[in-house]
Amino acid sequence: MIVGVPREVKNNESRVAATPAFAAELIKFGHKVYIQTSAGKGSGFKDEQYEKAGAIILGTPEEIYDKSELILKVKEPIAAEYKLIRPGQIIFTYFHFAASRELTEAMIKSRAICIAYETVEKSDKSLPLLMPMSEVAGRMAVQEGAKYLEKPFGGKGKLLGGVPGVKPAKVLVLGGGIVGSNAAKIAAGMGAHVIIMDISVKKLRELEDIMPKNVTTLMSNSGNLTEEIRNADLIVGAVLIPGAKAPHLIKKDMLKLMEPGTVIVDVAVDQGGCIETARPTTHENPVYEVDGILHYCVANMPGAVPVTSTFALTNATLPYALQIANKGWEKAIADNSELKAGLNIAGGNVLNKGVADTFHIELISLDQLYNKKSLAA
């Protein structure tokens, strides 16, 4: 198969979908790999390293998309890329369709095969391709939140861990999954008083067993949430419904309950956000204020640490990319239920329930898709 890796074009996105070693693995299996010039620069890779691995360097995204059957990306295509995608072309990347009707409709119109990293799912319901970036984002949420709590950035002027004789800051984490548990771990390590909320008692028991003593677990319900936001200094939104839009746990009218200078980091913003007032921002302009509350809502947080993130991501995606390249997408998803769960859109049809429900689009099954193809033939 011919595999193409374009340079990421989202604001301050320096990750790359394939390292030179990743390219070498694909080539070892007989695939041709095209890399757009400077695609790996932000992650510390030179074009020469890809060429040494056997890849071919091309100058423009147009060339990459035109020549490739399988496109590997990190972030979802942006408007300038829509016209480059053709029917039947496989796009393997983070899509987060539920956060964007425009993207969803563009990919339906393209009739491409859209396999989303974030919905590839194991039998135990874990998300192996979302997990590494969730780990990065969870840790970064506290790192960034601590910075914006400083007075010059508009925060309360509190040190997260306090000092002897002075209380530490209070960190409230909404969601006990990968993002939330990593955020709680880092916040606790910095000495903060941490409260982590989840709707699952089982999850809270697990967290109780592994978290340090300065982390308190609490059932997530409207009463507890309303009480805890009143004196929280940093709130981390870490709620995920795979493939679907995140629920708004904190409504706009709840901001008035918080103290001015409180910082909200909504990691779920790339799935619509779990804070009603959240809207995607960039690393260039990461924060904004609503009713005295500072919002940090960068949709590609791991892009700020591309060396760490690229290695973490490609370690996870390589086995799946190889299966798609070696077998073609139809055989790959037939043989691997994890990849099957990643198929969101194909041939102009929506196959992911979360996406279909979000935009009230007809949901079809894989069998229905194959039946449509056979009738068309």
Tens digits of per-residue pLDDT, 52-106? 999 999 999 999 999 999 999 999 999 999 999 999 999 999 999 988 999 999 9
Given this chain, do its domains 2-111+306-376 and 131-304 carry the same CATH topology? yes
Structure tokens at 13: 């996105």
The predicted model scores a pTM of: 0.89
CATH of domain 131-304: 3.40.50.720
Give the separation between CA 19 and CA 25, rounded to whole angstroms. Answer: 10
Annotation says 291 is catalytic? no
The yes-or-no verdict on residue 117 having pLDDT over 70 is yes
- Per-residue confidence (pLDDT) for residue 373, from 0 to 100: 67
The structural domains of the chain, with segments of one domain joined by +, span: 2-111+306-376, 131-304
CATH of domain 2-111+306-376: 3.40.50.720
State the catalytic residue, choosing from 198, 233, 266, 270: 270
pLDDT tens digits for range 301-353: 999 999 999 999 999 999 999 999 999 999 999 999 999 999 999 999 999 99
State the catalytic residue, choosing from 31, 96, 193, 295: 96
Nearest to 33 by CA among 44, 47, 43: 47
Four-CA torsion 356, 362, 366, 372, nearest 10 degrees = -150
Give the separation between CA 350 and CA 108, rounded to whole angstroms. Answer: 7
Annotation says 295 is catalytic? no
